[in-house]
Structure 1
């Protein structure tokens, strides 16, 4: 009796552990713990449909979209959400100035490096050109956005 309770308790605990680690199939006889990836979200490329404001508020992102619409071919909504079309326009600007070749709307390390170079050359950024959108890059992007007119 006691051993069947113990077996049930162990089976239940193992099943719960399997569920919480995402695999009920692996919850049978042993639990394998996989290390979490410690990759920063800032260094992971965004998918083509993801909104990536890089720390900008909605109003700051709208300023960027207005500027991109006026000068860089952005035709999307002025909604303060920097999605694929916004980043394609930003990449057109970055390409024009020789910072990047890609115009895919994905904010990966190459786009972030190009943005960092643009921000540095315009006096907003003094950090490393490393492709990681850390706090310095985000602050510089926000400072730049604040210089753009609202309409």
Structure 2
């Protein structure tokens, strides 16, 4: 069974590779193609359990305009709502894009340092201290 799956995967890979390298004579004319924006919905709970993330989502729903599902997965819309909070009170000055990158984490660290026992540097790295304080925040939300 495993050999069959590996063989099938190899055939599919070769077929896709062959299509990817096909000459431009087979490509659609530029006027017939259209650009589509692809968005990948990634989640980043920074160590929170699903139940803890649901607490955060409920808090975001109550105070920061989060209107997506309470599913325990901190995805783009959860982080957009959190970024609105961080922008208003905690010095987040980047785009409200739902990407919990270093600037979002720095603002989160300022929030966590203020009231949730975070004692580390404001460095944009969601290390163990940030994650532990974020858990306290989630449990208190």
Do Structure 1 and Structure 2 share a fold, with TM-score over 0.5?
Answer: yes
Query: In the TM superposition, what are the counterparts of 1:1-151 in structure 2 within 5 Å?
Result: 49-101=41-93, 102-148=95-141
RMSD: 1.3
User: Which portions of structure 1, spanning 4 or more consecutive aligned residues, are displaced by more than 6 angstroms?
Assistant: none
Q: CA deviation at 1:49?
A: 2.1
Give the whole-Å Cα distance in 1 for the aligned partners of 2:104 and 2:110.
10
Q: Which residue of 2 aligns with 1:12?
A: none
Give the whole-Å Cα distance in 1 for the aligned partners of 2:77 and 2:118.
24
Name the count of aligned residue pairs: 102
Which is higher, the Rg of structure 1 or of structure 2? 1
Q: Larger helix proportion, structure 1 or 2?
A: 2
Give the whole-Å Cα distance in 1 for the aligned partners of 2:133 and 2:116.
9
Alignment check: 8 A CA contact 1:48 1:105 kept: no
Give the whole-Å Cα distance in 2 for the aligned partners of 1:124 and 1:64.
17
Q: What stretches of structure 1 of length at least 5 have no aligned partner?
A: 1-46
Question: TM-score by structure 1 length?
Answer: 0.65
